[in-house]
Amino acid sequence: MKSKKTIIACLFLALGLAGCNEDSFLEEQPHSSLYPENLLVDYNGFQSMITPLYGMMRAEYRRADALGGGIPLVLHSAWGGGVDNSWANNSHSELKFMYYPSAIKQVDLQIFSNVFRWCYRIINTANMIIARAENEEINWGVGAQAEKNKNEILSEARFARAWAYRHLTYSFGAVPLSLDEITGSNYRTDWERTPVSEIRKAMEEDLLFAANNLPLRRSNNSEISGAMARHYLGELYLAEGQPQKAVDILKPLVEGSEYALMTERFGKNASNPGCAFIDVFRTPMYVDGNKEVLFAFVNTEPENSAYGTAEVYIKSTYKDYYSNDGTIKKSNLNDPDYTSGACTWPQAFWLNNGGKGAGRIVPSRGSLRLYDYKGMGTIDDRISDYAMVWTINDRAADGTITSFLNNGQAVIDTTVTSKMTDEGTTSIKKYNWPTTRKWDYTAPVKANGDKDGCYQDIVYLRLADTYLLYAEALMKISKNSEAIKWINKVRNRSHAVSIDENDLAVGGMDFILDERSRELLSEEERRHTLIRVCQENGGDERDVNNYFKRRMRELNEIAGRPARGMNDYDTPVLFPIPQNFIESNSGRALENNPGY
């Protein structure tokens, strides 16, 4: 059994480059060529250490059990599921709080522990880079370029640290603030929970440094940029109740020429039926002409590269498990690849329907209803057949594709069944529910057609999100006429009707949250957004009439049911501090969040 000291050391010292076990921690190892003392001696060496930071950030879209435990969904879903615009369509114990919110009181859930450890791996790696960059013997280059190179490395590391603390503070509230490298000889077992306001001061300093030392737009959008720093600074200022500061920091980004919403068809999907909105996801990189995506995670199939990249699971998490529906299983039985034996039926089905889903997280019916604002119905591209699964493709013997119908009716529907609302149910599994197509990915090899993972480049942050933050900040300084300009840019790109000042005045923050859901469904960490607005001006995120719980009741027909905790003040919203950390912190007693 690991000692308490080893547990706490593993928690804060893990760099994400190797596993943590007692033998390797205690045993002295010879310095290899990749040992930090040998690697971090020049600019190239520091660039090599920045790469693992990107890899760890990218783990938000890997399976959550990559850090231990059997969690068949992406880490991102911890914040994207079980909110006003989505519920968990699965009975797995790690998912229950996403369809039965009062079940969040399970303090030993692996997903909470994994989020906590993952963030501190990023923080400790960043701290090591930041500390060692101050060594006067580092060869940063020649002349003015030397200082530029150093500041670039520091900016990326400091951004990553602030980004991890963003996840931690919105997830857990007050957490330990660690800004120094931990070498193994100075580990602690007496960490204290630092107030969120103090953590945000450190985050602000880190993000300002990155904003001032990185260009708004870098050579490619798989690199941390000044634009990203400004975006999250704007969000931080809104969280701190400083909308004017948010306006000031976001203005150069939204009003500059470096980025723009994509309003015309483009990229590798442009010759196929679709719309500009969904093209943004099919071709997210600068090199392919995308000017909207501020940051994307690069992927490539193993068959296309000797090195490849690890699979991501965002597609299977946010797309429904259509092949498990009894009626839908009758489709694609005449597919020539299936009848010839070239592939199995599940492989044929998913190859014809945008790649396999596993039905982990699905949109709430209320979130789908939001698109019908002012009677727009399906005119809005964001809820069209291009962006949402409303029909199932059926491939005939001659290779033609048609919509699969059951007795002349589409098989996808939003009927809420008694099983879905049964308070005693332990399994929902509504497998003919509409879900997003943002993350569609069809495997290039037939034998991989029914694989959960995917290898496409993944959109992480878009200018549309920044526009909506900017609009929120403008609204909060009573500049509604300016705010609606930026909201309408987002809406009009998808052919949604324009709004006017009265719409925003009447809807207020709820309208902003509605629009964020319409635009950013399955992209934003929705739980973060709701907690942010609930806590503004000292608000209590557990209040039953705040944005979180009220909107859950109004829009989420499953997780928002009063009997599932959304009418109870005692139902927590913040995650619990992992029990294994509390027990390991033997030098100081720590209280958990209220409600646990």
- Give 100 or 373, the one with higher predicted confidence: 100
Ramachandran category for residue 332: left, alpha or beta (phi over 0 → left; psi -120 to 50 → alpha):
left
Q: Quote the distance between the C-alpha of residue 33 and its chain's center.
A: 35
Q: What is the pLDDT of residue 276?
A: 97
The identity of residue 544, as a single letter, is: V
- Inter-residue contact 190 to 159 (CB < 8 Å): no
Q: Mind listing the pLDDT tens digit for each residue in 146-192?
A: 999 999 999 999 999 999 999 999 999 999 999 999 887 777 899 99
Q: How far apart are CA 26 and CA 480, in angstroms?
A: 60
* Three-state helix/strand/coil letters over 483-501: HHHHHHHHHHHCCCCCCCH
Reply yes or no on whether the pLDDT at 423 is more than 50.
yes
CA distance to 163, 319, 548, per residue, from 533 (Å): 18, 28, 9
- Phi and psi at 440, nearest 5°, equal -55, 140
- Inter-residue contact 279 to 267 (CB < 8 Å): yes
Average pLDDT over the chain reads 90
Q: Mind listing the pLDDT tens digit for each residue in 41-82?
A: 999 999 999 998 999 999 999 887 766 677 778 899 999 999
Helix 196-213 to helix 226-239 angle (10° resolution) is 150
Rounded average pLDDT over 299-322: 82
- DSSP characters for 381-401? GGGSTTTB--S-EEE-TTS-E
- DSSP characters for 403-467? E-EETTEES---PPPHHHH-TT-S----TT---B-TT----SSGGGTT-S-B-S-EEEEEHHHHH
Residue 349 neighbours by CB distance under 10 Å: 27
Reply yes or no on whether the pLDDT at 539 is more than 90.
yes
The residue with tokens 């310095």 is: 31
pLDDT band at 28 (very low <50, low <70, confident <90, very high): very low
Strand 86-88 and strand 409-410: the pairing is unpaired
Q: What is the pLDDT of residue 378?
A: 59
Q: What is the pLDDT of residue 31?
A: 44
- Inter-residue contact 460 to 285 (CB < 8 Å): no
- 134 burial via Cβ count (<10 Å: 0-12, 13-18, 19+): exposed
Reply yes or no on whether the pLDDT at 274 is more than 70.
yes
- DSSP characters for 155-180? HHHHHHHHHHHHHHHHHHSSB----S
Rounded average pLDDT over 485-492: 97
Q: How far apart are CA 330 and CA 438, in angstroms?
A: 25
Reply yes or no on whether the pLDDT at 7 is more than 90.
no
- Phi and psi at 84, nearest 5°, equal -65, -30
Q: What is the pLDDT of residue 15?
A: 37
Q: How far apart are CA 48 and CA 46, in angstroms?
A: 5
Q: Mind listing the pLDDT tens digit for each residue in 195-253?
A: 999 999 999 999 999 999 999 999 999 999 999 999 999 999 999 999 999 999 999 99
- DSSP characters for 303-320? GG-SS----B-HHHHHS-
pLDDT band at 568 (very low <50, low <70, confident <90, very high): very high
Domain boundaries, given as residue ranges, for the chain: 4-214+576-584, 299-456
Three-class SS state of 295: strand
Rounded average pLDDT over 133-157: 96
The matching CATH number, chosen from 3.20.20.70, 3.40.50.720, 2.40.50.100, 1.25.40.890, for 4-214+576-584 is 1.25.40.890
Closest by CA to 490, choosing from 296, 292, 210, is: 292
Nearest 5°: the CA angle 292, 453, 440 is: 45
- Give 128 or 91, the one with higher predicted confidence: 128
Among the ranges given (89-98, 300-309, 356-365, 449-458), the one the predictor scored with the smallest mean pLDDT: 300-309
Reply yes or no on whether the pLDDT at 17 is more than 90.
no
